[in-house]
A and B are shown apart, each in its own frame.
Chain A
């Protein structure tokens, strides 16, 4: 990598880290990084920073798994981001207001691994053998980029727009659920806001996970036993607002919910 390119990657990472620090979204970073490789270099810089702060890597998320979203961004592959342990909340937890910038929610299948996936190229059989169980999940995506004004490079650099995630509590073995045809309902304040099925996620959630496993070996951060993989949305995402409760139900996998805290009174309002 040239010195100029390194600088651009650093600048992009700094811009995103500043948005995290201030809680204020930043301008897109596509003026600094253009190619997927450059964007992943930005993401890797964030990852290194966060690991250096003592955060624990707990898994990965796969994004851009639906044809509709891929078309929107003009891409034909998914992307991925890093999940840290402090991003996970239990079923029913309340996420404090402002914890995720410009939050949106989507329902996903989570896979939890019991073996490493370190081959250069994995088969579905490798993946099934490595998977301990599946869980229903809600991913709360967010963007550090102002108004979600993102290209592929912007979202990849911004840790694949990852925010937080909630996992259900009942593990289900892959043999006991049809992940291709599992119906999905997402409700916000009890109102249905999204429906879908497993096929909407890159044809099958396992197809998305297989793509991820190979990619991660290539970039040097392979999936390990214990990792959680959020495989991608089963239907359209929903906007969320303070006070909302969002619930996802996935047929054969169970349900999971998460609440969003009310905005606390700001100090300037109180004065």
Chain B
């Protein structure tokens, strides 16, 4: 019998110590996808008990290439807390092997009690970035491992909100210290980030979580993630959506 709470505490300790650990799946034969989400939920519960508040959800494996690479046919999701939100400076010294990727972010304007209502609940759209930091050695994991690890969530930042609009094919840039390191289109996010938003609503609702006014949905990455170094200036730009910047 898998001890969900012990596994969650193990990963939580790794995160707080900034220390990589081996994959849970190596020793836990019972770690399938549903159990992995139980571990993820138990990990969030630990953070909630320390005063962190739910802030939204993040979607993972939203690119076709990544799904094929992982051998999966659905997206994964993780939970965001208010402590993960970065304003303009991110301290990466306590992280294990952080990466950053450009994202499209949705702002929820009213509670989503039915997943089908999520489109009309969107109050704003922005460019953002996600800081990823797998708690596993070498950033390597199986599907249940990464789900248990809250989809490698670490931090996120959001640019200025814009009124809801078509974001199916927004050109996006990721710059580090003023140099373009990744270019792409929001179309890499399931063909249209709106599909990731709908998947987020479906998965959250199925898990008994209500997306509330003020929550955010990180729809997924428009390009591959890149290592996030110390003392770096990072900027994500999206056509018509402005930019968001962070220094480390």
Which residues of A does B touch, CB under 8 Å?
178, 180-185, 191-192, 195-200, 203, 235, 249-252
A185 touches B173 (CB 8 A): no
Q: Is B159 an interface residue (CB 8 A)?
A: no
Q: Is B5 an interface residue (CB 8 A)?
A: no
Q: Is B202 an interface residue (CB 8 A)?
A: no
Q: Check A251/B170 contact, CB under 8 A, given A183-B185, A184-B185, A196-B183.
A: yes
Instruction: Specify which of A183, A198, A250 is in contact with B170 (CB 8 Å cutoff).
Output: A183
The proximity string for B residues 206-243 relative to A, scoring 1 for CB distances below 8 Å and 0 otherwise, is 00000000000000001000000000000001111000
A178 touches B239 (CB 8 A): yes
CB distance from A40 to the nearest CB of B (A): 29
Instruction: Specify which of A191, A199, A251 is in contact with B169 (CB 8 Å cutoff).
Output: A251
A197 touches B191 (CB 8 A): no
Which residues of B does A touch, CB under 8 Å?
64, 168-173, 180, 183-188, 191, 222, 237-240
What is the chain B residue whose CB lies nearest that of A252? Answer: B239
A196 touches B184 (CB 8 A): yes
CA distance A64 to B184 in the complex (A): 18
Instruction: Specify which of B180, B185, B238 is in contact with A185 (CB 8 Å cutoff).
Output: B185
| A181 / chain B contacts, CB cutoff of 8 Å | 170-173, 237-240
Q: Check A180/B185 contact, CB under 8 A, given A192-B64, A199-B180, A251-B239.
A: no
CA distance A249 to B170 in the complex (A): 11
CB distance from B35 to the nearest CB of A (A): 32
B185 touches A196 (CB 8 A): yes
A183 touches B173 (CB 8 A): no
CA distance A181 to B167 in the complex (A): 13
A182 touches B171 (CB 8 A): yes
Identify which of B170, B180, B222, B239 gathers the most chain A CB atoms within 10 Å of its CB: B239
